[in-house]
Structure 1
Amino acid sequence: MSLVVGLDVGTQSVKLLAYDADAAQVAALHGQPLELVARDDGTREQEAQWWIEAIRACFARLDPALRARVTAIGVSGQQHGFVPLDAAGRVLAPVKLWCDTSTQRECDEIMQALGGESACVEAAGNPILAGYTASKLAWLRKHRPEAYRGLATVLLPHDYVNFWLTGERWMECGDASGTGWFDVRRRAWSPQVLRAIDPERDLGRCLPPLADAGATFPLAPAIADELGLPRTVRVSVGGGDNMMAAIGTGNVVPGRLTMSLGTSGTLFAFADRPVVDPQAGWAAFCASSDGWLPLICTMNCTVATELAARLFGLKAQDAEALLAQTAPGAGGVLLLPFFNGERTPNLPGGRGALFGLDPLNTAPANVYRAAMEGATYSLRHGYDAFVAAGLRFERICLTGGGSNSPAWRQMVADVFELPVEVPEQSEGAAFGAALQALWASQRARGGASLAELAQAHVRMRADRAAAPDPERAAAYRIHYRRFLRHLDAVRPLYAA
């Protein structure tokens, strides 16, 4: 009769998923939207308190009888966000998010101090890209010096939610590997990168201890009472949203590939060893388990389709219907969907660009298809780096909001020329957080391994599978090459 709760603190909303493991059913799913502060200089920020208020709202909607059955909570959070705390645990500044590109200068300065991008990869396994936490810490030092002087603890978004739930500060290797100052090979902090951020301060003192992937912590009694939960509830270490989505889609053994079509687009695969690319073609992250999670991220996925729909005043169902009127290639219309700048390819100063318009093809249907194709081609561009490194996959597990679109599922199958499957639980990050909490709470009693637990609970929907269509796949090969040519042509403009 017990329930585990997965909380997913995303960019657009907070979601609460209550899972009944005995019945293998989701007992409840609630969400609360979030605001976003966006400025022309690339700033993307939120207030940490907004997440807490949204979590309270989600629990308030959860039936009291269900709340009484909760035994464990796992937290998933948007990666890379920077939550600065003072010694008393107060947040010192707005939270700069993963999609914030205002810190590109700080990225360059940190890598220059280390000796260049290759030296950075050698020191920690990853370069310092716009969006990573390292540049945000350097930005705080430069632009908010008073907050920097009062800085006592650096937390990531999901770490901060854990801190609010338990009163304790910790990190785990999965989310920590997205900071830029975490050595993914050794699964430890990189003193070289920390010195490059600030050679005059021991930033290691601001970093919380690293917790074991299977550790749990007691829910603070005051928070239990406030949320109407039993005081016996345990909180697992949680992880970044991509790490939790890996668990939620069963991607916890080698050979699996997960694609998430959300605000950002991601591709990731489990590995039992560090997978570092000297050319930095992908992010060499750790998994929120005992493995690693090589990951490719694009910063503009459903962002592109939502903007196209808003441009023409389309509702989601209307936009989906319009796709049936178009063919691969969108009648010659092509979109580079870099509205928030881009990480893969690495163009933090990039912006969206629409090409190929003429009097016959300039129509809402073609522009909307071009947005969907552009977001998909960006992911394919990252996937090519995996393939070039010798990685091979037999199918794609698709998750995120975009996976609800039949047209997008088929497009992914055709562009990647791989069969696509969709898990029953569409909220992969929240579900993964719930499964991690379940695994961690059972671990002390000699429960199943994480891989065994994922195999038992992660199920696919037969009605949402998609297989590549040879004719469309051949057409997309041509249009994808056109996308790459346009990308090469505009690189110098974005670099400048």
Structure 2
Amino acid sequence: MSLVVGLDVGTQSVKLVAYDPANHQVVATHGQSLQLIAGNDGSREQEAHWWIDAIRHCFAKLSPAQRAQIVAIGVSGQQHGFVPVDAAGTVLAPAKLWCDTSTQRECDEIMTAAGGEQRCVELAGNPILVGYTASKLPWTRKHRPDAYRQLASIMLPHDYVNFWLTGERWMESGDASGTGWLDVRTRQWSSTMLAATDTQRDLAACLPPLVAADANFSIAPPIADELGLPRHVRVSAGGGDNMMAAIGTGNVVPGVLSMSLGTSGTLFAYADHPVVDADARWAAFCSSTGGWLPLICTMNCTVATENVARAFGFSTRDGDAIMADTQPGADGLTLLPFFNGERTPNLPYARASLHGVDLNNLTRGNLYRAAMEGATYALRNGYDAWCDAGLPFNAIRLTGGGSHSQAWRQMVADVFNLPVEVPAQVEGAAFGAALQALWAYESAHQSNTDFAAIAREHVLLDERLSAQPNASNVAAYEGHYQQFQRHLQNATVFYASHSTERAV
């Protein structure tokens, strides 16, 4: 028996999935939680060695026999992060993460230098939104000048883990398209966007080479020995967590809509051509399978439900029971769940706000439901842009921590008025990384390996977890969603008028 391993280096934890492709069976799943450094300025950071320590912890939980059977590893990593590394491979500062909103001023500076938001879309397919990697470079130059001066390699979180595993530096187009520098149409770096980020330095010299999606590399012998793995293990190109979740939900052909309910909320769909929106209503990313992955990302999803649960002293595992006696609309409560600022819509300085409170409706059940509804409505707001563009979908593939909740699965079906399907392997990003590792391994041993065929064979649906829209709930949610939209419009106007003074 041969095993492939997927590692998902997320914001809250590192997860490991060991998969036996011959028997279509996950033989082990392990995780290790991570800390988060949060600042009042919107900064969100982690130490890169925390990821490595967590990976060691996960591998240690596998039996020696399981470790001996591993033939390939794939790495999924939180997108948009920045790991500054010197020429010797030493990390120079904490990694700034995707949910870091302290660099909005730098976003504006880069886009101004490039000729404005519309020009950025023309050059690379995307504007520089808060959290994107590009903005973290000028921030580091200003606030950590010593680290910036010693900078030799710009790495994303999954790039750094790959570097630790193999001793080699590379980047692939899926994750690279979240930097803001990659022209997603051509899969080449935009020299203009790089120059707009720093006019005094050639940042291209700091970027690892781009490799094909099916590339694979040898694990470094000392790391193989440390982890108790065979020295012939191959490491695939890997990718961003959204790209890996797309693989893990079978989203490798056109027509599938996937939704991830994690710390962030995401919607993504595979395309066989670049899908760039002139108004930048969605992210025009590449996939990690050689195609493209238009994506809508909200920065606050399970963040909202977890904050409410923490405030009332219960676990989100009990959330469905807590809100069991509540009704769609949360008895008039509406939560704009912008605890981390927001990317879709682009409101980096926004904060969460609660509306519609009266003498009777402020209960923990209603507030928990309002948090879940608010996170779901925020995704629906982005989805409407795809509908306006004429992109049709017949069902939603659901993954992420929120997909474990029966109430949330039903809510998604009702709010979007689409059937919900749930893959049998709930750790979508980690499982997707394992399947990419399988693809890379098979590609190295035979020609013309079809990723779509791999997905059809290995991505199975759990029919017990599916949900169909409830007509009465669909109508009720539609009215409350319109109320959410009105509050969102008011917030958009307010934060747009105050963004200049907040940036100073």
Q: TM-score surpassing 0.5? A: yes
Superposed CA deviations along residues 63-115 of structure 1, whole A, max 9, x for unmatched, are 11100000000000000000111111111111000000000000000001111
Secondary structure (helix, strand or coil) at the match of 1:113 reads helix
Change over 3 Å in CA distance of 1:429–1:195 after alignment to 2: same
- SS in structure 2 at match of 1:23: coil
Q: What is the alpha-carbon distance in structure 1 between the residues aligned to residue 448 and residue 221 of structure 2? A: 27
The match for 2:453 is: 452
1:53 matched residue in structure 2:
53
1:464 paired residue number: 465
Note the 1:402-481 alignment, pairs <5 A: 402-444=402-444, 445-446=446-447, 448-481=449-482
Q: What is the percent sequence identity of the aligned residues?
A: 70
Gaps of 5+ in 2: 499-504
Check whether the contact 1:255–1:269 (CA below 8 A) recurs between aligned residues.
Answer: yes
Alignment match, 1:293: 293
Q: State how far apart, in whole Å, the 1-side matches of 2:227 and 2:396 are.
A: 38
Q: Deviations over 1:438-480 (max 9, x none)?
A: 0110013136411100000000001000000111101111000
1:129 maps to 129
> Counterpart in 2 of 1:239?
239
1:317 to partner: Cα distance: 4.1
CA distance in 1, matches of 2:448, 2:191: 37
Structure 2 match to 1:188:
188
Aligned-residue CA RMSD (Å): 0.8
AA at the equivalent of 2:12: Q
Letter in 2 for 1:279: D
Report if the CA contact (8 A) 1:216-1:440 is conserved.
Answer: yes
Check conservation: 2:35, 2:46, Cα contact below 8 A.
Answer: yes
Is 1:413–1:468's contact at 8 Å kept on the other side of the alignment? Answer: yes
Question: Normalization by structure 1: what TM-score?
Answer: 0.99
Task: Output the TM-score relative to the length of structure 2.
Answer: 0.98
Unaligned runs of 5+ in 1: none
Question: Shift of residue 145 of structure 1?
Answer: 1.1
Match of 1:119 in 2: 119
How far does the alpha carbon of each residue in 1:14-62 deviate from its partner, in whole angstroms, 9 at most, with x for none? 0111000011000101100000000110000000000000000111111
The equivalent residue for 1:490 is 491
Amino acid at match of 1:120: C
In the alignment, is residue 197 of structure 1 matched against residue 197 of structure 2? yes
State the secondary structure of the residue aligned to 1:208.
coil
1:84-163 equivalent positions in 2, closer than 5 A: 84-163=84-163
- 1:102-136 CA distance string (max 9 Å, x none): 00000000001111100111110000000000000
Q: How many residues align?
A: 496
| Aligned match of 2:502 | none
Which whole-Å deviations, capped at 9, do the CAs of 1:350-399 have from their partners, x for residues lacking one? Answer: 11000111011111111010000000000000001111111010000000
> Aligned partners of 1:74 and 1:139: how far apart in 2?
31
Q: For 1:42 and 1:123, how far apart are their aligned partners in 2?
A: 28
Distance 2:183 2:448 in 1: 31
Alpha-carbon distance, 1:223 to partner: 0.2
Q: How far, CA to CA, are the matches of 1:123 and 1:446 in structure 2?
A: 35
Give, in angstroms, the shift of residue 290 of structure 1.
1.2
TM superposition shift of 1:320: 1.1
One-letter amino acid of the structure 2 residue matched with residue 96 of structure 1:
K
Q: Which whole-Å CA distance do the structure 2 matches of 1:22 and 1:155 have between them?
A: 34
Contact 1:439 1:447 in 2 (8 A): no
Work out the CA distance in 1 between the residues paired with 2:83 and 2:4.
26
The range that moved more, 440-449 or 414-423, is 440-449
AA partner of residue 241 (structure 1): D
- For residues 310-341 of structure 1, the C-alpha deviation after alignment (integer angstroms, 9 at most, x for no partner) is 11112234321122211110000000000000
Determine the structure 2 residue equivalent to 1:325: 325
Q: Is the 8 A contact 1:133 1:179 kept in 2?
A: yes
Is 2:305–2:316's contact at 8 Å kept on the other side of the alignment?
Answer: no
Give me the whole-angstrom Cα distance separating, in 2, the residues matched to 1:290 and 1:446.
16
Distance 2:270 2:315 in 1: 36
Structure 1 segments (4+ residues) deviating >6 Å: none
